[in-house]
Amino acid sequence: MSPTAHAGHAGRGHGHPHGHPPVRRARRAWHAVTHLLTPHSHDTADRVDPAMAASAAGMRALWISLAVLGVTAAAQAAVVVASGSVALLSDTLHNVADALTAVPVGIAFLLGRRPATRRFTYGFGRAEDVAGIVVVAVILASALLAGWESVRRLGEPADVRFLGAVAAAAVVGAIGNEIAAQVRIRTGRRIGSAALVADGLHARTDALTSLAVLLSAGGAALGWRWADPLVGLLIAAAILAVTWSAGRQVLARLMDAVDPGLVERAGTALAEVPGVERVDRVRLRWIGHTLHAEVDLAVAAGATVEQAHRTAHAAEHHLTHAVPRLTAATVHTHPA
């Protein structure tokens, strides 16, 4: 090993192929025994269950929201056929599209459970980011379709029937979307899934657009035939706003953007480790709903390779406990 110690820790494992004298091996054996008696673990295998639990939570959230939005869209579709409301049609089509976005996100969660391979050495967590792109594309398509139908109806105005049913369907749509939004956003933030959070924000705005259908019903009651397609256009505009917000979030994740507060928190935690003279670089990136870190640390110029290794291990240990959802850290040490 060169004078600069380079300690890479996948997950929290710290095994090395180089040999150790008997005293050092005994010390490591005692270290292993004490690990068994402590409530935390550094074994990479111990990372599997939390990852599986996160994916299971994501799938559960998707199934719940899919069922809620499916029932909501079915109820609205029946009213659309009877009433001829283009505003409610736009909202219904959008709710159908919103429910269908659960499919790519669900596939991504299933792919994320697969172990890393020699080709995909970081695993398949990035599938969630790809799913986020699909979700944004579906949102955009629904916005364009809603806008097109509304413009067409402005040119060919028609009366809206069963106004009471249209108003009730609007309330049902708002309630269904808010339930789906709560489930997706809370779960997405808990497990660190940008795709699921983006999908939840989409559903939350859908709740507001569903209530906008009430305006079309009120306008139609006053004899304003243009009110229904105008509300449809407003719904399309709101969907486009969500598309912009969700798209920025997903693209930022694809560009390895992280919260600067997490980087600052990591740097502070590393500076507290005994033996660390200076924190030179901290890099974080999301892979699926887990964080990975690469760190460069300066240690005392006279430190031995073994001392530098112990410092790197302590830094990795402290970092993975200080930063939420950080599951892997590669720590490089060099003389100050």
- Residue 34 CA to residue 80 CA, distance in Å, equals 67
Name 332's bridge partners.
Answer: 6, 296
The amino acid sitting at 148 is W
User: Residue 124 carries which side chain, given as an amino acid letter?
Assistant: F
Q: What is the CATH number of the domain that holds 146?
A: 1.20.1510
Q: What pLDDT is recorded for position 167?
A: 92
What is the tens place of the pLDDT at every residue in 127-184?
A: 888 888 888 888 888 888 878 888 888 887 777 888 899 999 999 999 998 998 899 8
- Domain final residue, candidates 254, 273, 298: 254
Check: CB of residue 100 under 8 Å from CB of residue 120.
no
Confidence tier at 212 by pLDDT (50, 70, 90): confident
- Cα gap 322→220, rounded to integer Å: 58
Tens-digit pLDDT profile for residues 306-328: 999 999 999 999 999 999 889 88
- 331 and 247 in a common domain: no
Q: Cβ(184)–Cβ(65) under 8 Å? A: yes
For residue 280, count other CB atoms closer than 10 A to its CB: 14
Pair (270, 147) in one structural domain: no
pLDDT at 239 over 90: no
SS3 326: strand
Q: Which CA distances in Å does 214 have to 83, 205, 208, 257? A: 13, 15, 10, 40
236: phi > 0 → left, psi -120 to 50 → alpha, else beta; which?
Answer: alpha
In a domain, 8, yes or no: no
> What DSSP element (H or E) covers 335?
strand 326-335
What was the pLDDT predicted at 289? 74
* Mean pLDDT score, 45-64: 60
CATH of the domain at 301: 3.30.70.1350
Task: Check residue 314 and give its pLDDT.
Answer: 95
With vertex at residue 102, the alpha carbon angle to CA 145 and CA 72, rounded to the nearest 5 degrees, is 65
Domain that holds residue 312: 256-336
The last residue of one of the domains, among 211, 237, 254, is: 254
Beta sheet of 326-335, edge-to-edge order: 6-9, 326-335, 290-299, 276-287
Residues 85 and 172 in one domain: yes
Same-domain status, 273 and 156 = no
Give the rounded distance of the alpha carbon of 324 from its chain centre: 14
Q: What would the two tokens of residue 37 be?
A: 């008696």
How crowded is residue 15: how many other Cβ atoms within 10 Å of its Cβ?
10
Is 63 among the domain residues?
Answer: yes
pLDDT for residue 11 is more than 80: no
Instruction: Name the domain count of the chain.
Output: 2
Q: Is the dihedral of CA 261, 48, 294, 319 positive or negative?
A: positive
If asked whether residues 178 and 285 sit together in one domain, one would say no
Average pLDDT over residues 290-296: 93
SS3 for 323?
coil
**H-state helical runs in the chain:** 22-36, 48-83, 86-100, 102-112, 127-155, 163-191, 194-221, 227-254, 260-271, 305-322
Whether residue 278 sits in one domain with residue 187: no
**Residues 119, 287, 326: CA angle, nearest 5 degrees:** 125
